[in-house]
Amino acid sequence: MAQEVAFVTGAAQGIGEAISRRLASDGFAVAVADMKADKAQEVADSINQDGGRAIAVTLDVTDKVQVRSAVEKAATQLGDFNVIVNNAGLGPTTPIESITPEMFDKVYHVNVAGTIWGIQAAVEQFRARHHGGKIINATSQAGVVGNPNLMLYSSTKFAVRGLTQVAARDLAKEGITANAYAPGIVKTPMMMDIAHEVGKNAGKDDEWGMSTFSDGIAMGRLSEPSDVANAVSFLAGHDSDYMTGQTLIVDGGMQFQ
């Protein structure tokens, strides 16, 4: 059988990097897609040095034409297209009164439009190859329950859950599944920036800012990027073939469904 191919956005660091490395270890050929070309190349080179197969793709997910071209390039170079992980996202702290039209446009274009463009490009490749595939989208614990000071981020992640469910309905007859993963509080640069801003807005330190998000985790620890990558591995693999339209919450027990 031909090697299956996965395309991961926002893959140069944090959760995206962990997902890329995990899928490579699972046997996928991986396209490491990110705006940060040098860092994406470093991740791809590292995967190749470890015996995997990866290419780096420079990508701005807000650009529909660029997303389509990048996905097509990955499919051509790697020989197939089976999984897309729409992981790229922004998570600025946005107290209600601070939101501007410019901030709204930026966050929604990355988190929502970028996911839609990824879905469109992936479906085009699945159809061109006359087989099904897997669409995996990044939502968040904050896309299941609204979080304070995160109006833009939370609302985009609620939107991702909705568009995932629509894609699941529309594409199931073609053998294409669509699911989402919802991380909790993960030790990533983006999360540390959010905690810093929340603390600063309250006149507190970074530790206080992080505690506003991490209180109440049943498992008693913050998530590592690898915890999320493990869940995405399940969604990308064939053990989840009968699962679609779902949000897999990976938050250590912050909430129960």
Residue that the structure tokens 């590592």 belong to: 224
User: Rounded to an integer, what distance in angstroms lies between the CA atom of residue 14 and that of residue 212?
Assistant: 21
**Nearest alpha-carbon partner for 236 in 139, 119, 140, 136:** 136
Active site residue 106: no
Active site residue 73: no
Residues, the chain: 257
With 0-12 / 13-18 / 19 or more C-beta atoms within 10 angstroms meaning exposed / middle / buried, residue 167 is buried
Q: Decide: 31 and 7 in contact? Cβ < 8 Å.
A: yes
Beta-sheet strands, E only, within the chain? 5-9, 29-34, 53-58, 83-86, 133-138, 176-183, 247-250
Residue that the structure tokens 């893959």 belong to: 11
Q: Decide: 180 and 139 in contact? Cβ < 8 Å.
A: yes
User: Rounded to an integer, what distance in angstroms lies between the CA atom of residue 133 and that of residue 81?
Assistant: 8
Rama region for 143: left / alpha / beta (φ>0; ψ in -120 to 50; rest): alpha
- The two counts, helices (H) then strands (E), for the chain are 9, 7
Catalytic-role residue among 39, 64, 108, 157: 157
Catalytic-role residue among 36, 39, 108, 153: 153
- Show which residues are catalytic: 153, 157
